[in-house]
Amino acid sequence: MLDSQTTDVLRQAVGAAQSGDVARARQLAEGALDAGGDTVALNAFLGMLQARSNDLDAAVRHLRAAHEARAYDTTIACNLIAVLIDKGDLAAALEVATQELARADATLRIARYRGYVAQSLERFDEAVEAYTHVVERDPADFESWNNLGNARSATGDLEGSVVALERAMALEPLAPPTRLNLAVALRSVGRGEEAEALLHRTADEFPDDARALHELYVQYKKEGRQDDAMPAIEGAITRDPDNASLQLKFGVECGLLSRIDEAERAFRKVIALDPSVTDAYIGLAVQYEHSNREEELAPLIALAEANGLGEGALAFIRALEYRRAKLFEEALACFDQVPSEIEPERTSHFRGQVLDRLGRIDEAFEAFSKTNRLHEMSPTRPLERAAVLRDRLRGELDLLTPEWATGWTAVAAGRDHPDPVFLLGFPRSGTTLLDTILMGHPGTMVLEEQPPLNLVDKRIGGMAAIPGLDAAVVADARRFYFDEVAKVAPKPLAPGRMLIDKSPLFLSKAVLIQRLFPNARFILALRHPCDALLSCFMSNFRLNDAMSNFLRLEDAAEFYDLTFRHWERARDLFGLNVHTIVYERLVEDVEAEVRPLFDFLGLEWRGEVLDHRATAKARGLITTASYAQVVEPIYKRAAGRWEGYRAHLEPILPVLRPWVEKFGYSL
């Protein structure tokens, strides 16, 4: 019981506070405290009064005094915990919210606080203990079930997490955060289809909420479902266009899909929404570098400096500018200042390129190796996917026999469109330079690594299905191919214009091409196998199934062998109509090497095709790893580069030797 003097003072102080005279309320309570009034009640009152005045230090001082005097009072303890949380002193809050006090509190408020604070401090075992105590005594508390699920997940109890979150959702089925948490938990225990279905339902039932679509995007990215990921993130930003995080991810995805203008707009919007987002500046820099718009880097650096961007990010952008200006020492010095959390794969890759240009071979090789090791850690399991592709090629090679080929049903050539020309060759063998030269002719339309042929392959059921294709199915596949071409072509395919479909690894699609287009012509880009393979290893490819083979030299060599065995087997079986362009001769004398190609294609020779730099600049974004080289004068430094790296390539030379000799090169 309070003494009468304290009771009277508190009545007056409460009245003053309620009337808005906080200073008078504080003066009354402090005076009573100095006069020997009840220390617990007066300190508790002053603590809450100071908290409402936002004097958190004073609030803690008074509430702590009250709590120390009466530790079992849950109201005082809860008020002290709340103020300590507001103050950001979570460790001190947890010291107050002890397990003993939580278990003694029949209201469960302290246990809930204890769970929240422990979880915030990543002391998840203590959070699990606290939330378990709550739900055992209040099984209808869906929020604590939800929090228990998240805490269990953090401790590695994934199945327990799902159980708790399912209980939370059963109690409150219309809470979007619980649905999202459950979807993440389901995904973590391998129930991805259930997670996807739940997220779709949530997105449909809460049409103004972007979070379910964002989680769908995250799931699709983890599963490598790029075609599904993009619509999900597009839908999310439609619902929440001023969300800087969503815009950033949308910009990244647009960059991956070569939607360069949309990527730039997204990154610019992120900067407008939050000028401190480092990745938006980095994203713009990468887009400018990749689309050969190096003149945009200086204004970007100025904007970043004006907005106070950190020195690490600025060093990355400055390094790109120095690299394009061929100031390699300066570029290297800047790359060395970039912290590890900023674009680690790109930074390591660019460092390798700069070190290579400086002739520091062993350091360059280590930088490229580091890049690839970082890529190996991708959640999309690139090494596994690469191995699956090599296994598929081995299986197809087993099919490629004379008996298999002679069993086909005869099919006449199509009449709807002339058969395309296919430009192929192992990656980094000069196909981008060649397609740029061919783009410079007004009688051509060049597709650069677009999906139509791969979509046809998927539609018909792969190579094993080819012998069973009758005339009607072949005609349908041809129509489908040209319909898909129309969707991605840079301009309509006008009558009389030659379609050239370029993709290096169509080397293993020659059988399909021959079946659909018996009059197809092939342009084979050939380069010394060691140089081609080294260049692939040194390239920062997007990690589809094929490019994932270049993360390790031994995988790359096996992939080269399988790919060319596939090509040569098809060439022997079907007598393909092939014109070969040799990279080393091409860089020595472009006109002498490509004029016979134009004769082979039946195209009138035009001297302007030799101005590949103008053509490259005009085409905008170049989607291959050769984007920087094709806007430079043709150089010879890459021919024979492998000799400098010979010691690093020694383990794979036995695999490459037969091809080196077959193609007229030497070791």
Going by C-alpha positions, the residue among 410, 417, 421, 423 that lies closest to residue 520 is: 421
Going by C-alpha positions, the residue among 348, 259, 361, 357 that lies closest to residue 629 is: 357
Helix/strand/coil (H, E, C) string of 354-387?
Answer: HHHHCCCHHHHHHHHHHHHHHHHCCCCCHHHHHH
Alpha-carbon distance of 111 to 117, in angstroms, equals 10
Residue type, 53: S
C-beta neighbour count of 561 within 10 angstroms: 18
- The residue assigned the tokens 């908290």 is 51
Contact 236, 218 (CB under 8 A): no
Q: Give me the half-sphere count of Cα atoms (radius 13 Å) on the Cβ side of residue 289.
A: 20
Task: Give the model's pLDDT for residue 631.
Answer: 43
Residue type, 557: A
Tell me the average pLDDT across 545-568: 98
Q: What is the DSSP string of 521-588?
A: EEEEEE--HHHHHHHHHTS-----TTGGGGSSHHHHHHHHHHHHHHHHHHHHHHT-EEEEEEHHHHHH
Task: Give the model's pLDDT for residue 638.
Answer: 65
Tell me the average pLDDT across 471-485: 94
Q: What is the DSSP letter of 456?
A: H
Alpha-carbon distance of 138 to 141, in angstroms, equals 6
Tokens of 150: 């998240």
Alpha-carbon distance of 528 to 522, in angstroms, equals 19
Tokens of 553: 């030299």
Q: How far is CA 93 from the centre of its chain?
A: 38
Contact 114, 130 (CB under 8 A): yes
Alpha-carbon distance of 80 to 61, in angstroms, equals 9
- Model confidence at 626, pLDDT cuts 50, 70, 90, reads very low
Q: What is the DSSP string of 247-309?
A: HHHHHHHHHHTT-HHHHHHHHHHHHHH-TT-HHHHHHHHHHHHHTT-GGGHHHHHHHHHHTT-
Task: Give the model's pLDDT for residue 295.
Answer: 92
- Model confidence at 627, pLDDT cuts 50, 70, 90, reads very low
Contact 342, 278 (CB under 8 A): yes
Alpha-carbon distance of 438 to 432, in angstroms, equals 10
Tell me the average pLDDT across 27-56: 90
Q: What is the DSSP letter of 506?
A: G
Q: In what order do the strands lie in the sheet with 521-526?
A: 444-448, 498-502, 421-425, 521-526, 577-582
Task: Note the helical H segments in 291-343.
Answer: 297-306, 311-324, 328-335
Task: Give the model's pLDDT for residue 224.
Answer: 82
Task: Give the model's pLDDT for residue 290.
Answer: 85
Contact 288, 294 (CB under 8 A): yes
Q: How far is CA 647 from the centre of its chain?
A: 34
Please state, for a pLDDT cut of 70, what percent of the chain lies above it.
96
**What is the reported pTM?**
0.77
> In Å, what is the CA distance from 390 to each residue of 394, 460, 659?
6, 21, 18
Task: Give the model's pLDDT for residue 410.
Answer: 74
Answer with the residue of higher pLDDT: 140 or 412.
Answer: 140
Tell me the average pLDDT across 415-426: 92
Q: For residue range 68-95, list pLDDT tens digits in order.
A: 999 999 999 999 999 999 999 999 999 9
Tell me the average pLDDT of the chain.
92
Tell me the average pLDDT across 209-224: 94
Task: Give the model's pLDDT for residue 173.
Answer: 93
Tell me the average pLDDT across 169-178: 94
C-beta neighbour count of 443 within 10 angstroms: 15
User: Does position 211 have pLDDT exceeding 80, yes or no?
Assistant: yes
SS3 609: helix
Tokens of 469: 């294709």
- Model confidence at 618, pLDDT cuts 50, 70, 90, reads low
Tell me the average pLDDT across 446-467: 94
Alpha-carbon distance of 152 to 161, in angstroms, equals 5
Contact 497, 443 (CB under 8 A): yes
Tokens of 12: 């007056």
Question: What would you report as the CA-atom Rg of the chain, rounded to the nearest whole angstrom?
Answer: 33
- Model confidence at 629, pLDDT cuts 50, 70, 90, reads very low
Answer with the residue of higher pLDDT: 413 or 63.
Answer: 63
Contact 632, 534 (CB under 8 A): no
Helix (H) or strand (E) holding 173: none
Alpha-carbon distance of 267 to 279, in angstroms, equals 8
Residue type, 395: G
Task: Give the model's pLDDT for residue 616.
Answer: 57
Residue 3, C-beta contacts closer than 8 angstroms, at least 6 positions apart: 37, 38
Q: For residue range 88-114, list pLDDT tens digits in order.
A: 999 999 999 999 999 999 999 999 999
C-beta neighbour count of 391 within 10 angstroms: 11
SS3 475: helix
Task: Give the model's pLDDT for residue 430.
Answer: 93
Tokens of 463: 């190579």
C-beta neighbour count of 259 within 10 angstroms: 17
Task: Give the model's pLDDT for residue 241.
Answer: 97
User: Does position 621 have pLDDT exceeding 70, yes or no?
Assistant: no
Going by C-alpha positions, the residue among 280, 200, 196, 209 that lies closest to residue 245 is: 280
> In Å, what is the CA distance from 116 to each residue of 109, 132, 182, 247?
11, 12, 19, 31
Q: Please, what's the largest Cα pairwise distance for the chain?
A: 111
Answer with the residue of higher pLDDT: 294 or 622.
Answer: 294
Going by C-alpha positions, the residue among 381, 501, 419 that lies closest to residue 452 is: 501
Task: Give the model's pLDDT for residue 90.
Answer: 96
Q: What is the DSSP letter of 589?
A: -
Q: For residue range 489-534, list pLDDT tens digits in order.
A: 888 888 889 999 999 999 999 999 999 999 999 999 999 999 999 9
Most confidently predicted of 120-134, 222-236, 610-624: 120-134
Contact 430, 586 (CB under 8 A): yes
Q: For residue range 276-309, list pLDDT tens digits in order.
A: 999 999 999 999 988 888 899 999 999 999 999 9
Task: Give the model's pLDDT for residue 615.
Answer: 58
User: Does position 636 have pLDDT exceeding 60, yes or no?
Assistant: no
Residue type, 403: E
